[in-house]
Chains A and B, each alone.
Chain A
Amino acid sequence: MDPADRGQPEGAQPSRRWISLLLGSGVLASIASFLYPAIRYIIPPPLAESSSRSVVAAKVGDLKNNSGVVFKFGSEPGILVRLADGQYRAFTAVCTHLSCTVQYRADLREIWCPCHNGLYDLAGRNVSGPPPRPLQAYEVHIQGEDIVVSRSA
């Protein structure tokens, strides 16, 4: 519409547009300044990553042959398995499917996730069911009476 039709002096239109723009961007900026801290608040601060690269998972003699135990490794569970021949193996106990905690099945001689029936062999390889990847393996050392599990560097 021609500004003259509304009885406004010529040139009023651009300044009106400027005012709308300034007001609009001011309102948007203030909304953004309210939302930003709120969104940052919703995301929790990162946890201090556990620095320990190794942990005492169990004592020698705690585990019988052909059995397993879940231990705390930093903020995650790990699983220590004693094979039928007495060897030790350790893996993360977090299933690669949907993060349930796995367990050792003495009857199957495999590592089993009960949540969706996933199976891993004793090398941590996903052999059946939904898990898409093998379990990450840890190193096991015997130091005196302690069975020490450590992340490989």
Chain B
Amino acid sequence: MAELYHRILKWLDERFGAGAVEDFLRHKTVPLHRYTIWYYFGGMTLFLFVIQVLTGILLLLYYRPTANDAFESVQYIVTQVRFGWLIRSVHSWSANLMVFTAFVHMFSVYFLKAYRKPRELTWISGMLLLFIVLGFGFSGYLLPWNTLAFFATKVGTDMAGFVPIVGKWILVFLRGGPEVTGATLTRFFGFHVAVLPGLATLLLAMHLLLVQQLGMSVPPSVERSIAEGRAQPRSMPFFPNFLLRDIIGWYVALGTLGALAAIFPWELGTKADAFAPAPAGIHPEWYFLFMFQTLKYLPAKIGFIDSELLGLMAFGLAGLVWLVVPFLDYKAGFGRVTRFFTGLGVFALGYMVVMSALALR
């Protein structure tokens, strides 16, 4: 058996240098310090993404992306197809957990200043991936064509219409017309299963390549104590030590997903009706709640401007600042921790948590 394994490895090595992969695995290490736990969230997000791809492909076998059929086809999946309820619930739960772990990953990278030089591009590719994940969430939410999703999409795409100059164009592009109709559903389906997966694969490859190229970032405080001789640099091999720990985490995630899907199966709701009033208690997915709640608090007009435009501009600006934070906080590249940026992170996290909590009240 071992003989066969070595012969296969030798055969591959002669063709593309498989030894390099083995070498790479042997030499890659992960720094060990009191923040090592945060290194696991990127891998966890990746694992949940793989779950999304696999369950998504399974859902594609029965799902039909038209206004007449979509709701019924999901109903068919969860009531008739064997284990359809499980596949669909795992897809929904895993999507939510993935958004959650992506946010945890993002905030841990932010607070540990892992975005500092030379990892600016890793941060930017990660942020773009986060935007894509939110796009997956927004487009996927509509696909069952139920009432909640219908109105959430109406509101979400209506907001795009407030963008100056190109807003109306974006709105029509997203909806496939001036209103949310079956054309919107077909478009969102295309975004969800073709456009976004393509972009995500490209960005993910870039993100992982950069992570491999640059290695794991060591937080400034740990770096300092090593430089001052107060601590010894410690590390563990990536393969198999770190990967095995990763796998334990993934195994726990799988168990959690199965349990959540079985105990709290994802609801389907009622079929969307364009000529029914919006139901009371309507709200978007939890990760958009902080924006939703902000919109509720804004008055009709602030000064001369529609407050929607102002709110949209504020969130757009905040997103932009967050995207380019490695360049604003360039001092972190010299190991200097600027209070302002840590404070900004605390404020952003606090704002999101408090606003979401108020929305759920």
What residues make up the interface of A, taking CB atoms closer than 8 Å to B?
42-44, 47, 70-72, 75-77, 79, 93, 97-103, 113-117, 126, 129-133
Do B308 and A114 touch across chains, with their CB atoms under 8 A apart? no
For B42-68 the 0/1 string (1 means CB < 8 A from A) is: 000000000000000000000000000
Residues of A within 8 Å of B295, CB to CB, are 98, 116, 130
Candidate in A44, A71, A131 with the most chain B CB atoms within 10 angstroms: A44
Contacts of B306 in A (CB 8 A): 132
Q: Given the interface contacts A114-B282, A116-B295, does A102 sit within 8 Å of B277 by beta carbon?
A: yes
Measured CB to CB, the closest approach of chain B to A117, in angstroms, equals: 6
Residues in B lying within 8 Å of A, measured CB to CB: 151, 154-155, 158-159, 169, 172-173, 176-179, 183, 274-282, 292, 295-296, 298-301, 306-308
**A75 vs B308: C-alpha distance when bound (angstroms):** 25
A71 touches B275 (CB 8 A): yes
Residues of chain A within 8 A (CB-CB) of B280 are: 114
How distant is A40 from chain B, measured CB to nearest CB, in Å?
Answer: 12
A47 neighbours in B (Cβ, 8 Å): 177-178
Given known contacts A116-B296, A132-B301, A70 and B275 CB-to-CB distance under 8 angstroms: yes
Q: In the complex the two chains form, is B169's CB within 8 Å of A43's CB?
A: yes
Name which residue of chain A comes closest to B159, CB basis. Answer: A98
B173 contacts A130, C-beta separation under 8 Å = no
Smallest CB gap from B293: residue in A:
A116
B154 touches A114 (CB 8 A): no
- Give complex CA distance A81, B257 in Å: 47
Could you list some 22 contacts between A and B, CB below 8 A?
A: A44-B176, A47-B177, A70-B276, A70-B277, A77-B274, A98-B154, A98-B155, A99-B154, A99-B155, A101-B275, A101-B276, A114-B280, A114-B282, A115-B155, A115-B278, A115-B282, A116-B296, A126-B300, A129-B300, A130-B299, A130-B300, A132-B306
Given contacts A98-B158, A99-B158, A117-B296, 10 further A-B contacts (CB under 8 A): A44-B172, A70-B277, A79-B277, A97-B308, A99-B154, A116-B292, A130-B300, A130-B307, A132-B300, A132-B306
